[in-house]
Structure 1
Amino acid sequence: MAEKTKVVEVVPYDPAWKAEYSRIEKRMLEIAGDLIIAAEHVGSTSIEGLWAKPVIDIDLVMESYDQLPEIIRRLQEFGYEHQGNMGIEGREAFKSNRDEGFMKYHLYVCPKDGKGYVEHILFRDYLRSHPAAREEYQAVKQRLAEAYRYDIDAYCDGKTAFVQSILQRASQHQE
């Protein structure tokens, strides 16, 4: 299972997160670039100005699940453990068992039409283009990080209603 965050810490946006994402992306493209159609920086660190837990989220996007067995094989060669979807449809999680010199990150492999990937992009793009929603989310995260400093599950559960409301707004905004 993924290593659980021991202390929930939400910190001010750091422009270095973009560069760190690029370093991780470059490594992923070296490993599986010919098997994926895109790599995306998702999650809070991908949203300029948003406070976040200092953990990069990266989605490697595959055409379909047909590519997954070979992606798993390649990632395993480089010390990654496949963790399954961890309860989220359309997203396969991987954990590195080696210190690669990167800041902490979460690696996901997703089909291009997978729910996990589609929601990551909808959420990210909506918050990037709606400053008021971004500020609202930041306030929610800061409040939850203070209330649940040693309980990552409660922190994540506390964000669910807000995240769902953003996904609903983003879906309506697309139509």
Structure 2
Amino acid sequence: MGSSVIVVQYDPDWVRLFGKLQDFVLPVLSDLVLTIEHVGSTSVPGLAAKPIVDMDVVVSTQADVHTAIQRLATLGYVHEGDLGTSGREAFIPPDNVPWHHLYVCTVETAEYKRHILFRDYLRSHPEDSKMYGFLKLELAQRFHNDRAAYTNAKSEFVNEILKRTGWK
């Protein structure tokens, strides 16, 4: 079953929250990081989303990934492993910051490239973004208590958008 699915209308505070979270992790990662990207639906202006900020911390090498894991632990992040997505390391945030999803990966990681392609496409195609938002709101009602079914039901739309970006 999984936890309930809640999708809400876009909130401009998500951008500010991303900035605060970025500022929180940057002091321990600044010499490693190539970029920290706000990804996922909260990063697309106007898009309905689950109210959880997603951030990709991007580094150069796998050795940098391991260093980042150790340094994030000093802030209270708990490393969860790749959660089934190769090349992307996931973390549980510390109790003293708002809940969010933080991932560390290298710039060559397929999941990172997919995140950026999808985000940038939706940012530059407001009609498709609006359709995606309507779909997510409808699916969140239909699959309120089944996160896996919700995710599976959006995959056709997501894959169609990725195809338009040239993603293989």
TM range (shorter): over 0.9
Counterpart pick for 1:77 among 74, 78, 81: 74
1:17-74 residue CA offsets vs partner (Å, 9 max, x unmatched): 1100000011111121211110000000000000111000000000121211111111
Residue in structure 2 matched with residue 119 of structure 1 by the alignment: 114
Distance in 2 (CA, whole Å) between partners of 1:88 and 1:140 is 24
Paired residues of 2:41 and 2:48 also in contact (CA < 8 A)? yes
Any stretches of 5+ residues in structure 1 without a counterpart? none
TM-aligned CA deviation for residue 5 of structure 1? 6.9
Match status 1:147 vs 2:131? no
* 1:1-175 pair list within 5 angstroms: 6-96=3-93, 98-102=94-98, 104-171=99-166
TM-aligned CA deviation for residue 90 of structure 1? 2.7
Paired residues of 2:2 and 2:148 also in contact (CA < 8 A)? no
Give the aligned residue type for 2:13.
A
TM-aligned CA deviation for residue 100 of structure 1? 1.9
Aligned residues: 167
3-state SS in 2 of match to 1:125: helix
Distance in 1 (CA, whole Å) between partners of 2:113 and 2:82 is 15
TM-aligned CA deviation for residue 6 of structure 1? 2.6
Give the aligned residue type for 1:95.
I
Moved over 4 A (4+): none
Distance in 2 (CA, whole Å) between partners of 1:18 and 1:71 is 23
Paired residues of 1:91 and 1:115 also in contact (CA < 8 A)? no
TM-aligned CA deviation for residue 151 of structure 1? 1.1
3-state SS in 1 of match to 2:80: strand
CA RMSD, 1 decimal: 1.5
Give the aligned residue type for 1:78.
L
Any stretches of 5+ residues in structure 2 without a counterpart? none
What is the percent sequence identity of the aligned residues? 42
3-state SS in 2 of match to 1:60: strand
